[in-house]
Structure 1
Amino acid sequence: MNELSRRDLLALGAGGLAMLAGCSESAPVESPSVFEDVSFEGTDMVVDLRADHDIDRVNLVSPDGTLFTSATVPVGATTVRLQVLDLNPGAPEHYVPGENTLIAVKGSEAIEKLVTEIVPNLSITTVSARPKSSDHAGQLAVEVKNTGTGPSWIHQITYDGAPNFAANDDLSEDPGVHLLSEPNNREDSIIAANERRSYIGTSPPLIYPENGSVATDCTGEVHLTVFAGTGTGSAISADILVRPNGEASVIGSFGDFTCSAAEITKERGSQ
C-alpha cells in the first residue's frame, strides 16, 4: 500500500485517522495496483480498476489537498467515472491543474493512492478566414491545440484591433457562458489532451469600414490580436496579420464590406 499523507486522510474523513492508527505498525506489503488506467472522456475522468478489487469509493484530491470530487464504485464494477469539468453557466467547475491524487477507499480505509499530473496546455495554432460561400462572412476560424495531459474548454473568441469594432469585446469572466457560433453545442467546446479543435466567435472581425485601412478593392492589411477564453478562466492569444484579397461584398447600408479571401499569418513572437 502506498504511503498516505495527512491531506489524503483529510479527504477520507474521520475514518482516515482510524485507518492510520491500525496501520502505523504494519510493514508495507507490495500488491498489484487497484488502478489500471486513467483516461478522460468528455467532462469525465475514467478510472479503470483491477478486476478483483474490493473498494467502494474513489476520491479525487486537488493539488492543495482538498477533496474535489468522489464517486461510488458499484459492486463488481471495474470502471468508475468522476466528473472533472462542468460547463454550467454561472457555476462552472474545472479540476485544479497540477498534481491531483486518486484515493481508493474501502469503507473508511484508504487502500491506495495514485498521484497523476493533470494540466491542460492550450495554444492557438492557426487562424483562417471562412470562405465567402459560408454562413460566416467576415469570420475567422481559430484552431486551438492541447498539448497538455488533461482536458479543458474554450468558451469565447474575441479580438483587439479588428476592423469590426463589435468583435473587439472583453472576455466574459464566467467560463461557463458559451459565446461561440461554432461549435454551437456546449459539450463540443471541450478540447481533450493531444487534440486540435476549431472555434468561431459570435462577431465577425473582418467586416471593413468604407474608409478604413483596407480599400474597397480588398487591398491593404490589418494587424489584430485573437483571444480565446479557456475553462480555467485564463486566456490564450495570438497576434495575426491579415491581408485581404479577392472580391468585395457590401454588407448593410453604411458601406461596410467583406472580402472573399484573406491571407493570414501569425506574427513572430506570437504563441
Structure 2
Amino acid sequence: MVTLADDHDVDQLNLIGPDGTTFEQSTVAQGATGVEIQIVFKTGGTYSAGEYELVAVTGESSESMSLELRPDIQIVDVEPEFDEDDGYSSGRLFVTVENVGTGPSWVYNIGFRNAPYRNAPEVIEGDGVADTTFERPEASEEFLSPGTEREFLKQRGVLVIDDNDDVSCESDTAELTVVVQTPHGDIEQPIRAELSGGYHIDDQGAIQHPCKDVQIELLDGGGDNA
C-alpha cells in the first residue's frame, strides 16, 4: 500500500524492478490517497528481492524514490496442538512464522522432514506436489507483509506413531525438521519432540496414534536455504 498526501496530484504509480523494467503499475483514482500495488501472486509472477524504484507520475513530470524489497521469513515458534476435550496432544503442530524483512512474501506450504508419521505434511521438492492446505490461517492470511507474525497449522498430523516405529510414546524423543516454503526460498528449523504419557487413542480403529504429552524444543541449525 502506497500512501499519498491529501493534496497530491499524482496520476499513476510505476514500480520499476532491479533490471530497470516496469514490474507493476497502478492508476491513481481521483481523490484517492491510498494505492495498492500487488507484487506477490499465488499463480506466479511474484517479485524477486532487490532494490526497486517507485515512480509517481504527474502529467509530464515524475518523482521517484528507492525501495529495498527483501523479505526475511523466520520460524519463531513450534508448539503442539492439544485436544480441547481431554488436553492431550493431537499430533499436529502449530508453526509461528514472522517476516522481519522489508518486503512481503507468501507461505504456500509447510512440510516436515523425518517426521515419524508416514502421512505427515510433505515438503515440495523440485516439480513434486503435496497437500498445501492449511487448517489455519484463512487463505487470504497466508501472505506476510513486513512486521507480520502468523500462526500456521496443517490439516494432517506430524507426531503420530505406532508400535513398529523407531520412537515410542514412553519418554522418547524424535528429531525432525520444519520446512516453511515461500516463493523467496525455503526456511528450515530442526526441532526435538519429547514424547511421553502413552498413546492418545482418540480413534479406536486407527493403528497409529499421537502421544498424550508432547514438548517441542527448537534446535540450532535453522535458516534460509534459498
Q: Select the residue among 63, 79, 83 that pairs with 1:112.
A: 63
Q: Select the residue among 15, 21, 26 that pairs with 1:66.
A: 21
Per-residue CA deviations over 1:69-118 (Å, capped at 9, x if unaligned) read 1111123333222122222xxx23322221111111134x3411111111
Aligned to 2:168: 215
Aligned to 1:81: 36
Measured in 2, the distance between the counterparts of 1:254 and 1:225 equals 25
What is the 5 A alignment of 1:188-203?
Answer: 188-203=141-156
Per-residue CA deviations over 1:24-66 (Å, capped at 9, x if unaligned) read xxxxxxxxxxxxxxxxxxxxxx112233333211101111212
Q: Aligned with 1:167: secondary structure? A: coil
Contact 1:178 1:186 in 2 (8 A): no
Residue 157 of structure 1 and its aligned partner are, at CA, apart by 1.1
The structure in which a higher percent of residues are strand is 2
Residue 254 of structure 1 and its aligned partner are, at CA, apart by 5.6
Higher mean C-alpha displacement, 186-195 vs 236-245: 186-195
Structure 1 residues 173 and 53: CA distance shift in structure 2, 3 A = farther
Residue 183 of structure 1 and its aligned partner are, at CA, apart by 1.9
Aligned to 1:225: 177
The structure in which a higher percent of residues are helix is 1
Structure 1 residues 75 and 249: CA distance shift in structure 2, 3 A = closer
Aligned to 1:205: 158
Q: Could you tell me the TM-score, scaled by structure 2's length?
A: 0.85
Give yes or no for the alignment of 1:153 onto 2:106. Answer: yes
Give yes or no for the alignment of 1:47 onto 2:2. Answer: yes
Q: Could you tell me the TM-score, scaled by structure 1's length?
A: 0.72
Aligned to 1:186: 139
Q: Select the residue among 229, 235, 244 that pairs with 2:195.
A: 244
Measured in 2, the distance between the counterparts of 1:95 and 1:125 equals 24
Measured in 2, the distance between the counterparts of 1:165 and 1:96 equals 34
Aligned to 1:11: none
Two-structure CA RMSD over aligned residues (Å): 2.5
Give yes or no for the alignment of 1:235 onto 2:186. Answer: yes
Aligned to 1:260: 212
Structure 1 gap segments, 5+ residues each:
1-45
Contact 1:180 1:199 in 2 (8 A): no
Contact 1:162 1:206 in 2 (8 A): yes
Contact 1:63 1:99 in 2 (8 A): yes
Aligned to 1:24: none
What is the 5 A alignment of 1:92-171?
Answer: 92-107=44-59, 109-133=60-84, 137-167=90-120, 169-171=122-124
Contact 1:157 1:180 in 2 (8 A): no
Structure 1 residues 51 and 257: CA distance shift in structure 2, 3 A = closer
Residue 160 of structure 1 and its aligned partner are, at CA, apart by 0.9
Per-residue CA deviations over 1:222-246 (Å, capped at 9, x if unaligned) read 11111111133x2111111111123
Between structure 1 and structure 2, the one with the greater Rg is 1
Structure 2 gap segments, 5+ residues each:
none
Q: Aligned with 1:144: secondary structure? A: strand
